[in-house]
Structure 1
């Protein structure tokens, strides 16, 4: 079996590559700029872009399965190329935003749902991994402050989220691509624990061996800071999630353990895995 992994050098994709290889699957990695850096030695890497349909037939030739991420502008071209190549099963890294209340008003939810709908209407078997709050988001939010040894500025330090480790999302993708029973299934994936943003900062401090201070700022100040590093839709989604997290614990999930047989990784483990990024 040949599995094609799109975005193979990304945070989730590279773990999907590693997991598939460990399961004995032949992997063809793709990237817009084919560079094997960060991938297991000998992994074939080809140039492909989900938004450029002319790059897809060669990438998918002879493949039976594929892992993709949400690119609505190219999804019809992907479906056509995958069906023509004989691909049987596609795993999509989607977003938990599609099942949130008010998802019809969320640009992020609409983007991911458009890709889901195209796959649902296709002749392909599919599995959707609807990831909640990615733990890796804190790299965007807090890494520069922590590396500069200045306070992490938070509007809602006691808001709770349930960050999900990218390795857990990858493990689910590997399970879906290599085992039975996952076709036409959608899994909403949160982390295994709800914890405050303040506690997450403390875990990062523990991982790098020094205290990291938290400074409370207004939502407007946080909006301005986030706006310098992420798109407007992501700013709104992040602040909305944080504000909601002040009213109730975040939703957690056990789907990783149910499918893989091991518990999901907690945020403390994620912090240890990524400690060098924050030093």
Structure 2
């Protein structure tokens, strides 16, 4: 049977595709635009856009190609409902969904914010679908450092943080993907359940995370504390103002509060969660 990976161009989805292929599984990777999709040789591809109008209209043929002979699915949240896709997956005989969610779905500072609302709605659709599923809640992805701080570090400028003392638990994206792969394999169903909270091995301040990158590069990286208002004024066009407001609320609530840590990665994969320093060493050229 085939494992379907939605969002196969994504940070986690691409790694899930690679992991499943390496495990010798039949994989079908999907993307909105197949011209942008690069997959290992032997991996099937199918166009799939969960945000299209025909999806919202519950077109029964919208997912036929993607779901043919599919046993398990890796799914991510979108701003639109996935209910029609889940209905089609149920009808197609899908036996398990591994859903990549966010701690914003339940954390107090973000629960009512846009990120929390999007993921809670998706989880509610999943629960209503009747499909067996496991929800993954990964902590702060190490790749956020590249996204948020990479330009400043490459330019040898200070990293500007509105809440440098906010605590996070960086997690290596490979750890998230390895857990997902384990849960997607039908012969490795031991850890399937309603939810799995995934974290890295250590809680640290954001400015300590910047320092860890500096240690990996062999040079100090200055940090400059800025106001919330300045952070909002520097908002990148690709990030909605409401999303940034919610992220700032979350950071403010995390100041001086150690972030929760679990041993889920080790329990499922058999190895300890990778530290941030490992990710930095593997991605030094990005900085």
TM-score, length of structure 2 as denominator length? 0.90
Residue 43 of structure 1, CA deviation? 1.9
Residue 29 of structure 1, CA deviation? 0.5
Q: Distance in 1 between matches of 2:33 and 2:182?
A: 27
Q: Distance in 1 between matches of 2:201 and 2:246?
A: 21
Instruction: Give the 3 Å change call, closer, same or farther, for CA 37–122 of structure 1 in structure 2.
Output: closer
Deviations 1:125-183 (A, max 9, x none): 11100122222222221111111221111122232211222111111111111111344
Paired position in structure 2 for 1:98? 105
| Matched residues, number | 278
Instruction: Give the 3 Å change call, closer, same or farther, for CA 242–7 of structure 1 in structure 2.
Output: same
Tell me whether 1:44 sits opposite 2:44 in the alignment: yes
- For residue 3 of structure 1, give the secondary structure of its aligned residue in structure 2: strand
Paired position in structure 1 for 2:77? 70
**2:184 aligns with one of 177, 185, 193:** 177
Alignment of 1:1-279 (within 5 A): 1-35=1-35, 38-52=38-52, 53=55, 55-101=62-108, 104-178=111-185, 179-226=188-235, 228-278=237-287
Q: Distance in 2 between matches of 1:91 and 1:155?
A: 34
Contact 2:163 2:225 in 1 (8 A): yes
Range 261-270 or range 28-37, more displaced? 28-37
Q: Distance in 1 between matches of 2:172 and 2:272?
A: 11
Paired position in structure 1 for 2:58? none
Instruction: Give the 3 Å change call, closer, same or farther, for CA 237–192 of structure 1 in structure 2.
Output: farther
User: RMSD of aligned C-alpha atoms?
Assistant: 1.9
- For residue 67 of structure 1, give the secondary structure of its aligned residue in structure 2: strand
Q: Distance in 2 between matches of 1:171 and 1:209?
A: 30
Instruction: Give the 3 Å change call, closer, same or farther, for CA 39–210 of structure 1 in structure 2.
Output: farther
Contact 2:114 2:246 in 1 (8 A): no
Q: Distance in 1 between matches of 2:37 and 2:86?
A: 28
Q: Distance in 2 between matches of 1:256 and 1:56?
A: 32
Contact 2:110 2:246 in 1 (8 A): no
Q: Distance in 2 between matches of 1:165 and 1:226?
A: 26
Instruction: Give the 3 Å change call, closer, same or farther, for CA 24–42 of structure 1 in structure 2.
Output: closer
Q: What 5-or-longer segments of structure 1 have no aligned partner?
A: none
Q: Distance in 2 between matches of 1:143 and 1:103?
A: 25
Deviations 1:205-247 (A, max 9, x none): 2333433211121222123224545222331232223222222
Contact 2:17 2:27 in 1 (8 A): yes
